[in-house]
Amino acid sequence: MDFNLSADQLEIKELAMKFARLEMMPKAQEYDEKATMPLEILKKAWELGLVNTCIPTEYGGSGFSAMDSMVITEALAYGCMGMNTAIMANDLALLPIVIGGNNEQKKRFLTPFTESYKIASFCLTEPGFGSDAGGIKTLIREDGDDIVINGNKMWITNAGYADLFVLYGTTNPELKHKGITAVVIEKGTPGIELGKKEDKMGHRCSDTRAVTFNNVRVSKKNILGGLNQGWKIAMKTLDHSRPMVAASAVGGAQCAFDHSVKYAKERIQFNVPLSSHQAIQFMISEMAMKIEASRLLVHKAAWLLDNNQPNTQLASYAKAFAADSCMQIATDAVQIYGGYGYSKEYPVEKIMRDAKLIQVYEGTSQIQRLVIAKEIFQRS
At 272, the amino acid letter reads: V
Size of the site for ligand CAA (CB under 6 A): 25
Catalytic choice (30, 104, 362, 375):
362
Answer for which of 232, 267, 277, 369 binds ligand CAA (CB under 6 A) is 232
Rounded Cα–Cα distance for residues 173 and 226 (Å) = 17
Q: Which is nearer to ligand CAA, 35 or 235 (CB)?
A: 235
- Site residues for ligand CAA, window 235-264 (CB under 6 A)? 235-236, 238-239
Is 266 one of the catalytic residues? no
- Give the span between the Cα atoms of 251 and 264, in whole angstroms: 20
Q: Is 272 left (phi over 0), alpha (psi -120 to 50) or beta?
A: beta
CB of 158 to ligand CAA, least distance (A): 7
The smaller minimum CB distance to ligand CAA, of residues 27 and 369, is found at: 369
Nearer to ligand CAA, 78 or 361 (CB): 361
DSSP secondary structure string, 212-229? EEEEEEEEGGGEESSTT-
Residues from 139 through 178 that contact ligand CAA (CB under 6 A) = 157, 177
Q: Give yes or no for a contact between 320 and 290, defined as CB atoms under 8 angstroms apart.
A: no
Q: How far apart are the first and last CA of the chain?
A: 25
Q: Please choose, from the candidates 221, 93, 96, 247, the residue with its C-alpha nearest in 3D space to the C-alpha of residue 157.
A: 93
Exposure of 286 by Cβ count < 10 A (0-12 exposed, 13-18 middle, 19+ buried)? middle
- Residue 309 has a CB neighbour count (10 Å cut-off) of 9
Under rule CB under 6 A, residue 124 binds ligand CAA? yes
> Binding pattern to ligand CAA, positions 302-341, x when CB under 6 A?
----------x-----------------------------
Q: Which is nearer to ligand CAA, 280 or 304 (CB)?
A: 304
Write out the residues near ligand CAA by the rule CB under 6 A.
89, 92, 122, 124-125, 131-134, 157, 177, 231-232, 235-236, 238-239, 312, 361-363, 367, 370-371, 374
Catalytic residues: 362
